[in-house]
Amino acid sequence: MRRWLPILLIIALMTAGTLPAAEKELKVGFVYVSPIGDAGWSYAHDLGRQHIAALPGVQTAYVEAVPEGADAERVILNMARKNFDVIFATSFGYMDPMLKVAKQFPKTVFMHCSGFKLHQNMGNYFGRMYQARYLSGMVAGAMTQKKILGYVAAFPIPEVIRGINAFTLGAQAVAPDVQVRVVWTKTWYDPATEKEAAKSLLDVGADVIAQHQDSPGPQEAAQEAGAYAIGYNSDMTAFAPKAHLVAPVWNWGPFYEQIANEVRDGSWKSRSDWYGMEKGIVALSPMTDLVPRTVQDMVLAKKAEIVAGTATVFKGPVSDQTGTLRIAAGESASDEALLGMNWFVQGVVGTTE
Amino acid sequence: MRLRVTKRQEPLGWGACLVFFGALAFSLAVSAALLALQGKPAFIGIRLLFEGAFGSRWALEDCLLKAVPIFLCALGVAVAFRLQIWNLGAEGQFALGAIGASWAALTFPALPGSYLLPLMFLAAALAGGLWGLVPAVLKLGLRVNEIIVTLMLNYIGILILEYKVYGAWKDPGSFGFPMTREFPAAAIVGNIGATRLNWGLLVCLGCGAAIALFLDRTRLGYELKASGENIRAARYARLPYGRLVLLVMALSGALAGWAGCLEASGSLHRLQPTIMAGYGYTAIVVAWLARLNPLNIGIAALLLAGLRVGVENLQLDLQVPAAFGQIMEGLILLTVLAGNFFKDYRLRWREPDDA
Amino acid sequence: MTPELTIALLAAAVQSGTPILYATLGEIFTERAGVLNLGVEGIMLIGALAGFIVAKTTGVPVYGLLAGGLCGALLAAVHGLVCLVFQGNQVVSGLALTILGTGLSSFWGTAFIGQRTVGFEKLPLPLLSEIPVLGEIFFQHDPLIYLSYLLAPLMWAFLRYTRWGLGLRAVGETPAAAAAAGLRVLAYRWAGVLVGGVLMGFGGAYLSLAYTHLWTNGLSAGRGWIAVALVIFTFWRPGRAILGAYLFGGVMAFQLRLQAMGTTLPSSLLLMLPYGLTIAVLVFSSWRGRGSEAPAALGVNIEPRE
């Protein structure tokens, strides 16, 4: 036994060396569904991560391109085992794997984006992007001459469908007879295909192009055709100065900071946070000079109403493509209905499949 | 003095192992250099990679779990490669297998597990196998190149999967997200004890053993090898080349189909587009690294699974992008491929005058 | 479909076919020398990234294009090293190259996402662009498209009429006989691999410098694989590559326009069109009995001399 003692000692020392330092830093982990290089959804979350990484006493880490399912469970599990204090999982499909892990690690805080399941140590959160989409739709409705708007869409999931519907309602609020044509690319980041999709919409007469993907491909197409374009996720003026009007943008930083602070001082409670423009999670980039002053004022007035809570986007009467009434007059759509939205409002040309 | 290349007369016994690990070490060194170039601590990085892959019981469990679909796909691919049939379509066959299994699980949810699970495996094998037969038939009947057809069928297979889960099979309770309902309990391959591993591991072992026996101990397996090594000679010896092509492609597809079935049933418990994690492509790498030998495929599958799992550790601790795993995968394959040269040839210096 | 829409569609077919055309021509050149390079996708990505970075830093699009070609050739040289020097299997090496190229381009490229570079802009050709219909379809594009119009016939003439072209083909058909006739077989094969790599790199650079002026990871989005498929469809002939590439580009552009016009077909089914078409075209060309026109020594390594 004595022979082994030095070796045991060395092993003990080595293990001690790898223990975390004495001063307690808040360890925050992020799980992304795509590479942050997609310039889109994950990228926006990563900007939020960078925001809190710059705060004192916060240490962050992320794992990107994690497929939903078994891989996600493993990644979340490993983060929990590595004593992360908060773990943010930013895709719908991470919900069940995260819940499974959350039940095993009651001291860790789990935050799931875009889902609905809760546990005592698992909360969920999302942003009301559709509010900003509605406002961008108003801009489009005011700017279109031909009353045809084009929408380059990513995948037919509720987040995207909700955005198209809000955009359409916004446009209809300004130009009631406007039509929104949708082309699915089934891509999140393929600028060439997305540009081509925008061109196909321009060919059928659209004179304002909106998009859900984050590549500025559609913006370029609009500029080349002398049409207008509405961006997404960042101010895309630089890519198409003669076309870019406005862009709805994500801004996760303040929210992540809030949660990090709550977890640090122990005040965090499991809940569902679905914030909108009032908290700045979702915002509208400044409108460019191409948008006339009067239109800007009208949109900003509406924005103020939405922020104040006096206006809601999905307020009845709203009918779907077939003319069936989906939201009765005077009623507003519930959060649950919004979360699972899989039908287009009247005025959209396209299919949700 | 000039370098002289001669063909080895005898196989390079244990030296072959040395060549393999030499190539592995070389690609690790290049990867480490890449890390250093990015200002990351290279040696710590490589250590983290290994720890994340094989450093603990958990890591090993994760590794094994990840290796299961890769192993099954690679096994199928290897059988086809033995005959020099370039089946690059494991990805699509995997998709079809998952579709087949999900069809069974969603259509007969009331069946007890002892019927439903075999039915799912049967449906998966049929769907995957038929998907594999398409390029085989086209190759035999019309001499259409199988590389392209299998590749294109990958895209189509994945789109069929999307078509089903975005459409008819979408779970009404999924809030519009593309996924099927959760499978009934009877359709789920259970876990082994308290581990994250499921009984699919046994399927793997069984398939591995069966394929090894088939390739080395049966007449058909021998014919396969002989035909693959020399098609013309095989035709001359009246070996049934056409039937062999059909057989290997069906087998290949069925095995990839089972991988899809196990992923849907054992890991996800439903069908969703993210089931497609590129195992079919990794399988080609694995099959080749293993030189098409079933036992080696097991080892190579673990290695590649370890790489995938270990890279996550690198990401977590050093913020190395996920693409680093791809770079390593490509490097390992290229260096091992180049290293094989030294198994077949030897280099010797010679004096210029004895030419 | 109205006449205007049809013309717009055909013009779009030319543009979306062009990156594929460059890559297909590159692969034809490589395969004519007897080397199968399945790494097109990876090479295109590296070419696209290199082109983007250089054009952005220098402000000169042509430098970007050249950088794209050069880096494409560099990655292709890895394939040459593994297959021509170390006798590695060409199918597997090509696959590895795709994996490596995809990885490297994301590894280095992430920093450049969300930026814009200068690039090639539309340049309607005087006179030609004013021809009704044809002018709109073919002559109101960027200079790289015009370059591709010249490239295909040039390659055709090179392979058919020049000494080097004939040598390249001989090496791809019967290397042993070519060697006996005094040709430097390995040198030809290297030329095939490297020139092919340059063209594939151009194809990638077209995506990041002309089609769009952007970079994102995975920019080529499967176009490299389609190029590999088109080589078979073209029977290894540069002239037919034009037809194949535009057909393919046309189908991609067509399915998007079908959606824009308000079809109710599910998008998953529409997206299958290009892939299904590839198989159909292969079946059709093989059915006419010409599927076996591949260079006889394609994919077969040349053993080093004792």
The residues spanned by each domain of chain B are: 67-303
Answer yes or no: do A273 and A289 share one domain: no
Res C305: pLDDT = 64
Look at residue A16 and tell me whether its pLDDT is greater than 50: no
Residue C191, phi then psi, degrees to nearest 5: -60, -45
Q: Are residues A110 and A32 in the same domain?
A: yes
CB-CB neighbors (< 8 A) of C98 in chain B: 330
Percent of chain A with pLDDT over 70: 93
pLDDT in tens, C219-241: 888 899 889 988 988 889 999 99
Average pLDDT over residues B232-250: 85
Do A123 and A29 belong to one domain?
A: yes
Same domain for A39 and A74, yes or no, is yes
> Within chain A, where are the H helices?
5-18, 41-53, 70-81, 95-104, 129-143, 158-174, 191-203, 217-224, 253-264, 293-308, 335-339
Q: Decide which of C47 and B350 is more confident.
A: C47
User: A2-16, B99-113, B292-306: which has the minimum mean pLDDT?
Assistant: A2-16
Interface ipTM: 0.89
Touching chains, A (3+ CB pairs < 8 A): B, C
The dihedral over CA atoms of A130, A133, A135, A140, expressed in degrees to the nearest 10, equals -150
Q: Tell me if A116 sits within 8 A of A270, measured CB to CB.
A: no
Interface check B14 vs A, CB under 8 A? no
Q: Per the CB < 8 Å rule, is C259 touching A182?
A: yes
List chain A residues with CB under 8 Å of B263. Answer: 69-70
Does the residue A106 lie in any domain? Answer: yes
| Contact check, Cβ <8 Å, C212/A195 | yes
Say if residue C79's pLDDT is above 80.
yes
User: Above 70 in pLDDT, residue A14?
Assistant: no
Rounded Cα gap, residues B125 and B147, in angstroms? 21
Residues A74 and A192 in one domain: no
Task: Find where tokens 């519009």 sit.
Answer: B176
Q: What domain range is A190 assigned to?
A: 129-247+285-349
**Would the pLDDT of C10 be above 50?**
yes
Reading the block at residue B76, the tokens are: 């199928």
| pLDDT tens, position by position, A249-269 | 999 999 999 999 999 999 999
d(CA B91, CA B154): 6
Per-residue pLDDT of A322-338, as tens digits, reads: 999 999 998 999 888 88
Most confident of the ranges B219-223, B333-337, C170-174, C202-206: C202-206
The total of structural domains in chain A comes to 2
Return the residue of A nearest to B179 by Cα. Answer: A93
As a whole number of angstroms, the distance between CA C274 and CA B117 comes to 36
Is residue B11 very low, low, confident or very high in pLDDT (cuts 50, 70, 90)? low
Answer whether C262 sits within 8 Å of A350, measured CB to CB.
yes
pLDDT in the model for residue B296: 92
**What is the DSSP code string of B59-92?**
HHHHHHHHHHHHHHHHHHHHHHHHTT-----HHH
Give the pLDDT band of residue A10 (cuts 50, 70, 90): very low
pLDDT of A242 strictly over 80 = yes
Q: Are residues A339 and A304 in the same domain?
A: yes
Average pLDDT rounded to a whole number, residues A182-207: 90
For C124-144, write each residue's pLDDT tens digit. Answer: 999 898 998 899 999 999 999
Cβ–Cβ < 8 Å for C22, C199: yes
Q: Name which of C96, C102, C272 is nearest B334 (Cβ-Cβ).
A: C96
Stretch A198-209: mean pLDDT, rounded?
94
| Cβ neighbours for C42, distance < 8 A, ≥ 6 positions apart | B330, C75, C97, C98, C99, C100, C101, C102, C104, C105, C224
Query: Given A183, A189, A199, which is nearest C259 (Cβ)?
Result: A183
DSSP character at residue B197: -
Q: Are residues A201 and A301 in the same domain?
A: yes
A11 found inside a domain? no
pLDDT higher than threshold 80 for residue C96: yes
Contact A63 B316 (CB under 8 A): yes
- CATH code of the domain made up of B67-303: 1.10.3470.10
| Confidence (pLDDT) at C290 | 56
Are A44 and A82 found together in one domain? yes
Q: Which helix (H) or strand (E) holds A273?
A: strand A272-275
The number of beta carbons lying within 10 Å of the beta carbon of residue B26 is 17
Q: Does residue C203 surpass a pLDDT of 60?
A: yes
Give the gap in angstroms from C-alpha B258 to the nearest C-alpha of chain A: 17
Comparison of pLDDT for C278 and A9, the residue scoring more: C278
* A18 within a domain of the structure (yes/no): no
| A209: in domain | yes
User: Between chains, do A79 and B316 touch, taking CB under 8 Å as contact?
Assistant: yes
Q: Tens digits of per-residue pLDDT, B78-128? A: 999 999 898 999 999 999 999 999 999 999 999 998 899 999 999 999 999
pLDDT of residue B353: 54
Convert the pLDDT of each residue in C240-281 to its tens digit.
999 999 998 999 899 999 999 988 888 888 888 888 988 888
Residue A190 and residue A321 share a domain? yes
Say if residue A147 is in the same domain as residue A214.
Answer: yes
Cβ <8 Å between A186 and C268: yes
Percent of chain C past pLDDT 90, that is, above it, reads 66
CATH code assigned at A60? 3.40.50.2300
pLDDT of B144 higher than 90: no
The conformation of residue B351, written as its DSSP 8-state character, comes to -
Q: Which residues of B touch C266 (CB under 8 A)?
A: 163, 166-167
How many Å lie between the alpha carbon of C271 and the closest alpha carbon of chain B?
8
Residue C272's closest chain A neighbor by CA? A186
Mean of the per-residue pLDDT values for chain C? 91
- Name the architecture of domain C3-287: Orthogonal Bundle (1.10)
As a whole number, the mean pLDDT across chain B is 88
Q: From CA A317, how far away is CA A338, in angstroms rounded? A: 15
- Nearest CB neighbour to A157, from listed B62, B176, B313: B176
Mean pLDDT of A128-137: 95
Among candidates C10, C26, C13, C57, which has minimal Cα distance to C203? C26
Question: Confidence band (pLDDT; 50, 70, 90) for A171?
Answer: very high
Beta bridge partners of A332: A315
Over range A115-142, report the average pLDDT: 94
Q: Residue B177: left (phi > 0), alpha (psi -120 to 50), or beta?
A: beta
Distance CA C61, CA C119 (A): 5
Task: Out of A181, A220, A351, name the one closest to residue C260 (CB).
Answer: A181
Asked if pLDDT for residue B228 goes beyond 70, the answer is yes
Measured CA distances, A127 to A52, A152, A255, C275 (Å): 18, 21, 10, 37
Chain A nearest CA to B148, separation (Å): 22
Q: Report residue A257 as tokens.
A: 């900071």
Mutation target vs B (from C24, C97, C100; most B CBs, 10 A cutoff): C100
CA distance C202 to C62: 11
- Asked if residue A115 and residue A150 are part of one domain, the reply reads no
Is the CB of residue B315 less than 8 Å from the CB of residue B321?
yes
Pairwise CA distance, residues A321 & A329, whole Å? 17
pLDDT at B348: 73
Does the beta-carbon distance from A189 to C253 stay under 8 Å?
A: no
Sign of the CA dihedral with A317 first, then A321, A324, and A327 last = negative
Across the interface, whether the CB atoms of C87 and B147 are under 8 A apart is answered no
Whether the pLDDT of residue B195 is over 50: the answer is yes
Using CA atoms, how far apart are residues B23 and B333, in angstroms rounded to an integer? 9
From B151, B285, B324, residue closest to C107, measured CB to CB: B324
Please tell me the predicted confidence (pLDDT) of residue A128.
93
Instruction: Note whether A73 and A170 are same-domain residues.
Output: no
- The verdict on C2 touching A (C-beta cutoff 8 Å) is no
Average pLDDT, chain A: 88
Contact B346, B85 (CB under 8 A): no
Which residues of chain C are within 8 Å of residue B345 when distances are taken between CB atoms?
A: 87, 304
pLDDT at A20 over 70: no
* AA letter at B56: S
pLDDT digits (tens, 9 = 90+) for B161-181: 999 998 889 888 777 788 899
Task: Give the CA-trace dihedral at B201, B206, B211, B213, to 10 degrees.
Answer: 140
Confidence of residue B318 (pLDDT cuts 50, 70, 90): confident
